[in-house]
Amino acid sequence: MCDRAMSGHARGRRAALPRLLGLAGGLALAMGAPWAAAEGPATLAGIPKPGAMETCPVCGMLVSKYPAWVATVVYKDGHAHHFDGAKDFFKYLQDLPKYAPGHRREDIRAMAVTDFYGLQRIDATKAWFVIGSDVLGPMGHELVPLASREDAEDFLKDHKGRRILRFADVTPELPGKLDRGRFE
């Protein structure tokens, strides 16, 4: 987290104000925000935020402590599950019977991750993910979400990343490999 705050990256600095506004807006929206997801832009402004005591279904950690890393799955009936990083989000998707018994992939309405630079919620299926970088999340090595290819390439250079992946490139084995510090 310190790494992010101290980054000399221009885009990161410009993101400071929207970050503050975003936090304030999140408080104002709180519960029951209208669903703002739609076709087009990847940003998911209206996606629910984790409650103060909500825990990650994969690792059990409090998600609200890590707003810069939150990933979210929203089901068609409106309820959501939150994660303290994209890695646990992918682990969950790949084994719903284990982490969310009774839930079905086809009932998922939207999936969001948090853009590293802009700290906005973005559509996970449209995000770019960098692995193998020097930026660690709450659960160690991460798939760091970026909003665009350009951002992903900048991040990869600035943070010694190994690879850039799209949503569909994330294999079932990858999250476990990241846990072991393997990035191939």
- Residue numbers at the binding site for Zn ion (CB under 5 A): 56, 58-59, 84, 88
Taking the complex as a whole, the smallest distance from the CB of residue 41 to Zn ion amounts, in Å, to 27
- Cα distance between residue 109 and residue 107, in whole Å: 6
Taking the complex as a whole, the smallest distance from the CB of residue 157 to Zn ion amounts, in Å, to 28
Nearer Cβ to Zn ion (88/115): 88
Could you say which DSSP state residue 43 is in?
A: B
Nearer Cβ to Zn ion (173/179): 179
- Cα distance between residue 145 and residue 85, in whole Å: 9
Nearer Cβ to Zn ion (54/153): 54
Residues 88, 66, 109, 183, CA torsion sign: negative
**Residue of minimal Cβ distance to Zn ion:** 56
Taking the complex as a whole, the smallest distance from the CB of residue 32 to Zn ion amounts, in Å, to 25
Nearer Cβ to Zn ion (59/108): 59
Nearer Cβ to Zn ion (29/59): 59
- Cα distance between residue 148 and residue 129, in whole Å: 9
Backbone φ, ψ for residue 37 (5° rounding):
-65, 145
User: Which segments within 57-138 are labelled E, that is strand?
Assistant: 71-75, 80-83, 108-114, 121-123, 128-131
Taking the complex as a whole, the smallest distance from the CB of residue 66 to Zn ion amounts, in Å, to 9
